[in-house]
């Protein structure tokens, strides 16, 4: 029989409802009877002791809030009786000893990837088009239309063929067996297009940050080559972009085609030159084939969004176990979303291998929080209405569950936004909690594949890296089956362990990294790209 409540850690003074509970319902837990004092929805937290005003609320073994009103044992925690509270971190207090998981089944595993001259291995083979400034977005869109139409790229060509039949008066259902599907011209290369609203008009630091991000996209092992459009007069000058490329890799030898519209002349001349040159580059890149590579070549972005009360006990810890296996075999998991690490800083600081990274993590967190507070907000305003509705009522509570994605392995490096991952093991990357901004940042720092946990559902994807969706509950997996790749609801029902699901997640990652399966976000054409302008973004 499925449990009705769970205590995440022995020292917690709250429990979580695993099913909807009725007022006055008697629930047996640890051989004790808990009387539920009010109707409580699944995923919400119930007091396991009596709380007085200012009493500490402990969950996941850490401080996640304080009572602002008396709360009786058995009553539900809400935003009316609880406020955000977290421990303050000043320095590293101890070094945590790590016992890695058993990797006997993983240490010799490989995936089929695209080998690059710098030693990196990609999970995809992409030719990327992007502008240095928003003024070139229209030209990017024209190129996107031309290349996708003529190369028959993407699912949309089916809809174009359907419309063409309708215009010609052909009574053909494209799903009919008689309808002929257009074949993609190149089968071993994806052609992707990025637009953005940056590059000029903001502060110069924004242009420099964007240059580092775009350079990271070119450096990413999934990219075979790139076509870059510049207007000519913008803040993000070609020289700044080239300097960012040299800073990230002085020996980068990928084909990079850069065009300055104000130097070329007419739009027709610009586009004609781009199309001819880029076609040659795409054709050459199409000849690159997948070859076996060790799992140590994987750089795995760890993301969550649309989280619910189950995320921290199913999807996130399962992903954390997969992260630990990857770290143990020499791969590079990447944990980001710094506002969603508020309250668990001490554990992460103590997991840092060296003191320099521990101090840097503290400094980055303090600077970020200070900038948010200066704008009249705070990390305590991070939980979204959807989070709160589904049981995550304080930022520290949300963070304690979100951090589980990073497993328990040592922190090998702490990076600021735009810096590239070079070390094996767990890397902490400063990004906002915003789903797309964070995913965009991790891929710019080298993530070749991203695993994205969700309790409420989100279709977020990325232009160059597969983004896999992992649901925290089976109801979501059934309701939004077109976006969910993996369902960890079996953990909630007690049918599988966190470790078993973690291994399933890693197995799925290998299949997608090898091109054997497509991420559903890619099937849906979710190519989301939003750079962080370093302003207030939670």
Of 158 and 528, the structure prediction assigns the larger pLDDT to 528
Nearest to 16 by CA among 456, 353, 310: 310
pLDDT digits (tens, 9 = 90+) for 42-63: 999 999 999 999 999 999 999 9
What is the helix (H) or strand (E) element at residue 67, kind and residue range? strand 62-67
Lowest-pLDDT range, 65-69, 281-285, 379-383, 503-507? 379-383
Q: What HEC string does 254-315 produce?
A: CCEEEEEHHHHCCHHHHHHHHHHHHHHHHHHHCCCCCEEEEHHHCEEEEEECCCCCCCCCCH
Structure tokens at 382: 């991070």
Distance of CA 181 to the CA centre of its chain: 33
pLDDT at 156 (0 to 100): 55
List residues bridging with 111 in a β-sheet.
293
Whole-angstrom distance, CA of residue 303 vs CA of residue 452: 5
Average pLDDT, the chain: 92
How is residue 478 annotated by DSSP?
Answer: H
pLDDT above 70 covers a percentage of the chain that reads 93
Whole-angstrom distance, CA of residue 473 vs CA of residue 452: 14
pLDDT at 88 (0 to 100): 83
User: Residue 58: CB partners within 8 Å, gap ≥ 6?
Assistant: 11, 12, 13, 14, 64
Quick one: pLDDT band at residue 193, thresholds 50, 70, 90? Answer: very high
Quick one: pLDDT band at residue 425, thresholds 50, 70, 90? Answer: very high
> Counting every residue, how long is the chain?
538
Whole-angstrom distance, CA of residue 470 vs CA of residue 487: 6
pTM of the model: 0.91
Mean pLDDT in residue range 527-531: 97
pLDDT at 186 (0 to 100): 83
Q: Are 505 and 318 a contacting pair, CB within 8 Å?
A: yes
Quick one: pLDDT band at residue 173, thresholds 50, 70, 90? Answer: low
Whole-angstrom distance, CA of residue 72 vs CA of residue 59: 17
Secondary structure (3-state) at 13: coil
**pLDDT surpasses 50 at 370:** yes
Burial 360-383 (b: 16+ CB within 10 A, else e): bbbebbeebbeebeeeeeebbebb
Structure tokens at 266: 């007419």
């Amino acid at each position: 029989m499925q449990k009705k409540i769970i205590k995440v850690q022995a020292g917690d003074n709250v429990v979580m409802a695993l099913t909807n509970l009725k007022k006055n319902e008697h629930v047996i837990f640890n051989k004790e009877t808990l009387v539920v004092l009010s109707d409580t929805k699944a995923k919400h937290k119930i007091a396991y002791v009596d709380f007085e005003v200012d009493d500490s609320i402990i969950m996941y073994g850490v401080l996640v809030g304080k009572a602002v009103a008396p709360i009786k044992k058995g009553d539900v925690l809400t935003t009316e009786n609880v406020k955000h509270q977290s421990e303050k971190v000043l320095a590293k207090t101890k070094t945590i000893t790590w016992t890695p998981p058993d990797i006997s089944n993983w240490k010799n595993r490989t995936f089929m990837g695209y080998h690059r001259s710098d030693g990196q291995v990609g999970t995809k083979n992409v030719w990327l088009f992007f502008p240095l400034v928003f003024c070139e977005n229209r030209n990017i869109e024209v190129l996107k239309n031309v290349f996708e139409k003529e190369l028959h790229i993407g699912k949309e060509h089916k809809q174009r063929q359907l419309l063409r039949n309708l215009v010609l008066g052909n009574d053909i259902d494209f799903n009919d067996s008689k309808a002929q599907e257009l074949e993609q011209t190149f089968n071993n290369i994806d052609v992707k297009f990025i637009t953005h609203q940056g590059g000029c008009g903001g502060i110069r630091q924004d242009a420099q940050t964007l240059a580092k991000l775009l350079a990271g996209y070119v450096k990413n092992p999934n990219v075979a080559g790139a076509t870059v459009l510049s207007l000519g007069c913008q803040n993000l000058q070609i020289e700044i972009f080239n300097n960012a490329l040299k800073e990230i890799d002085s020996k980068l030898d990928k084909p990079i085609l850069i065009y300055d519209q104000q130097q070329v002349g007419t739009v027709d001349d610009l586009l004609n030159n781009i199309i001819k040159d880029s076609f040659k580059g795409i054709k050459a890149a199409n000849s690159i084939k997948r070859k076996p590579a060790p799992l140590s070549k994987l750089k795995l972005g760890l993301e969550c969004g649309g989280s619910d009360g189950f995320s921290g006990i199913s999807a996130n810890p399962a992903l954390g176990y997969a992260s630990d296996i990857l770290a143990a075999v020499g791969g590079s998991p990447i944990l980001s979303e710094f506002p969603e690490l508020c309250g668990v800083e001490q554990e992460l600081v103590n997991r840092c291998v060296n003191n320099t990274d521990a101090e840097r993590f503290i400094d980055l967190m303090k600077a970020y929080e200070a900038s948010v507070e200066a704008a009249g907000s705070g990390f305590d305003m991070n939980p979204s209405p959807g989070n709160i509705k589904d049981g995550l009522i304080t930022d520290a509570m949300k963070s304690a569950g979100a951090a589980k994605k990073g497993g328990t392995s040592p922190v090998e490096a702490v990076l600021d936004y735009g810096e590239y991952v070079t070390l094996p093991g767990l890397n902490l990357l400063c990004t906002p909690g915003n789903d797309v901004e964070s995913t965009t940042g991790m891929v710019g720092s080298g993530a070749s594949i991203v695993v994205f946990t969700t309790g409420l559902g989100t279709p977020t994807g990325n232009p160059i890296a597969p983004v896999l969706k992992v649901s925290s509950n089976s109801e979501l997996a059934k309701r939004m089956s077109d976006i969910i790749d993996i369902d960890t609801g079996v953990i909630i029902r007690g049918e599988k362990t966190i470790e078993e699901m973690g291994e399933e997640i890693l197995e799925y990652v290998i299949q997608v990294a090898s091109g054997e399966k497509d991420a559903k976000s890619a099937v849906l054409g979710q190519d989301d790209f939003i750079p962080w302008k370093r302003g207030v973004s939670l």
